[in-house]
Every structure is written in structure tokens, then in C-alpha cells.
Amino acid sequence: MSRVDLAELDFFSPEVQECPFSVYQQLQDEAPVWQMPGTNVFVVTRYNDIREIIRDPARFSSSFSALLNAGSSNEDVTAIYEQGYEMVETLLTQDPPRHRVYRNLVNKVFSNKRIEGMRGDIQAIADQLIDEWIDDGEVDLLNRLCVPLPIYVIADQLGVPRSELALLKKWSDASTSRLGRLADEEQQIQNAKDIVEFQHYFADLIDRMRDQPEDNIISDLANNTIDEGRLLTKPEALGMIQQILVAGNETSTNAIAGGVVLLIENLEEQAKLRANPDLIPTAVEEILRLETPTSGMWRRATEDTEIDGVAIPEGSFLMVRFAAGNRDESVFPCAGAMQVDRENADNHMAFGQGTHFCLGAQLARTELQIAMTTLLRRTDNWALVEGKNSLKHHPNVLLRGLMDLHISFDKVA
């Protein structure tokens, strides 16, 4: 492993984000709470330090919208956003006790009981998608399974027709690109157009659901009340829908795709799963640990404090790097190796912990279990198609997902 000069390290460069694991290990060894040179940003990479931070919202606030709303120097971007709705703090960037007010509105939708009741529908979607290409011997798996499976599921829950898959994916991608802070000016303009388009689409849907309520998430958000009886404002409802859309599909899409690549690269582990399907739930946790689709998240220090002996001034931003913590050798021995029967695989932090534990965690787990089980049952002899896979990831500070995945396979009789 080659070492880098930490005084010169640009941690958020696309090059580092594409292949960050040696940097994670170096930071864990040399500077587990590392201040980016010339900034008030601290990158935290050890499991126990991350856990301490995300379980202490009093010292480390999730109110980091200043980073998201810093705005672009491009006046065109600003002008486009002015055509939409104000972005307000609801779930992701809200602290207790206010966070609980919004979270309570959607907790029942993502309850374990409700998700278990959806298994049959999710299985039917997975089989339907695979039926479309099972006889072809080769497939663009990213766009023919990994993307549509979770999008169809969340579309059903939102009350949006499955025919809108392309729009939902476009809007979700724009939201994650904006969150990821690595978009160039051209992409920022496109993100703004897509996000404003999303806002107007769902603002109209909210109005319709207030006139004619239905049994779906949009209707619930349109008609349920908070603060002693008031309806959510349009910006509040839109902020929640945007976060639900992203949480309801990005993690699953990226984990399914990344999991297939891991199993292609680790044939002995794949053979264990084929021989013993009961290992699937543990294998899913191991995939989530190694892939960590949400690589990290921001926190803001509310007071002068310290972590692991490093002084953190009030107002500083902390990048808690879940993907690094999930490869901490002190918690996960042989952390870089895939072990589908790893005893403590579910100790990972792919979904965070504490107050902001991912709303869609159980849904993502269920989708990943069903996707992997069905793929292993119906196809065999997976291989990456030569010349069609870059295996590169979308440039993003917070989220990690493959840009392409084409595999060849044999149909199981």
C-alpha cells in the first residue's frame, strides 16, 4: 500500500473517492481524526470514534444544510432553484426533538412488519424483471435489475406509476449528485432543472392527494398533521418525499450491483451461498459492510469538544466515514476480505446508528436478500462482460455506486 502525504491530500478528489481504501487505512493508522489542510473539516475514520459522534446529537448536530445550501457561484443555477420551492430541514438535517416530529410521520410506512408484508410483491417484481432477460445469456444488470427493482418498490409506496421509472431515477440521481458536492457547473445546472421539475411534479400530486386521499406515502404526508393540527407546508412535504425517494432506492441499487461484483470476485464465497442459501441474510450484511453505499455523512460541532484527543472547535464540520469504519481491523478482522459467514457482519454502520439510523434500512435489506437469492437460484456462472465494464463509481462525496455492470451468465434449468 503506497502512503500519501497527508499535508497534500485532497480527500474529496474524484481520484481518492474512486479508490479510497488505502487512504482510509492510512488515516486510521496515522490520523484517525484528521483535519483537512486549510479547512474546518475533520475526517473521522475509526469505528468507535464514528459511533461516538453519531450517537451524540447534542455535541454533533445533523444540521449541516449550510453545506448543501451554500449555493453555486453560477447565477444560472441560483435562478433555476428560485423557480422551485425552498429547501427546509426535515429528516436528514434535523436534530432531536424536532427530527422525531417528521420521522413519526413515516415510521409506520417503513416498519419491519410492513416490510415483511411486502416480500411477496418484491419477489414478484424481481422475477418479472429477470424473466425479461433470463434467456439472453448476457444483461446490463445495473439497468435491468439493480435500478428498476427498488424504484418500482418505492414508486408503489409513494403512489407514483411504475411507468415513471425514468423520471424517478433522474430526480433521485439529481438529488444525490447535489448532496455529493462533486458536480461540475454543467451538472449543477442539470441537477437544478431536475430537482425543480421533481418539486413541481410532487407539489401537484400533493394537491391532488389533499382533494382525493389514497393509501400511499404522498397521501399520508399531504394529509397528516403536526404541531397541534397543521398540515405540512409544501417545502416540508417535498423535502421529506425527496429524502424518501433517495433512501428508498439508491442504497439498494448500489448494494445489489456491488454485491454481484463482490461475488464474482470471490468465487469461493459465492459457492458457499449456492451450497447454503441460509447464509444469504449474513452475506447481505457483509455486502453492506464492504460496499457501504452511504460512504459517509456530515456532522457539525455545536461546542468546543474533542474526539480521540483531537480538539474540535465549535462550528467545525465532521465527515464521519462509515465506509472506513466498516473496514476497521479492530472490529472486523481481515476487514478487506469478503466472508459471507462473518459472525459480526451486522455490526456494520452502512445505515448509520442512533437518531438518524436509515429510514429505509429494512427495506434495503429485504430487497437485497430477495435480489441475491433470486439471482443465485435462477442464474449461474456469472462473469463480467469484457469491454463493457469500467467498474467506476459515480463521483460523490457521500454515496458510492457503480456506473455500469454488464454480466454474462447461464440460465439454471
pLDDT in tens, 180-225: 878 889 999 999 999 999 999 999 999 999 999 999 999 999 999 9
Residue 10: its pLDDT value, please? 94
- Here the cell at position 304 is 468546543
- Exposure of 126 by Cβ count < 10 A (0-12 exposed, 13-18 middle, 19+ buried)? buried
Please tell me the distance from the alpha carbon of residue 286 to that of residue 107, in angstroms, as a whole number.
26
- 376 inside domain: yes
> 185-201: buried (b, 16+ CB within 10 Å) or exposed (e) per residue?
eeebbbbbbbbbbbbeb
Question: Is residue 19 over pLDDT 90?
Answer: yes
Query: How large a percentage of the chain has pLDDT more than 90?
Result: 87
Cis omega before residue 97 (within 30°)?
Answer: yes
- 328 inside domain: no
- Here the cell at position 51 is 459511533
Question: Is residue 35 over pLDDT 90?
Answer: yes
- 266 inside domain: yes
- 10 inside domain: no
- 14 inside domain: no
* Count of domains for the chain: 1
- 302 inside domain: no
The domain in which residue 150 lies consists of 62-294+350-411
Question: Is residue 391 over pLDDT 90?
Answer: yes
CATH classification of the domain holding 120: 1.10.630.10
- 205 inside domain: yes
- 13 inside domain: no
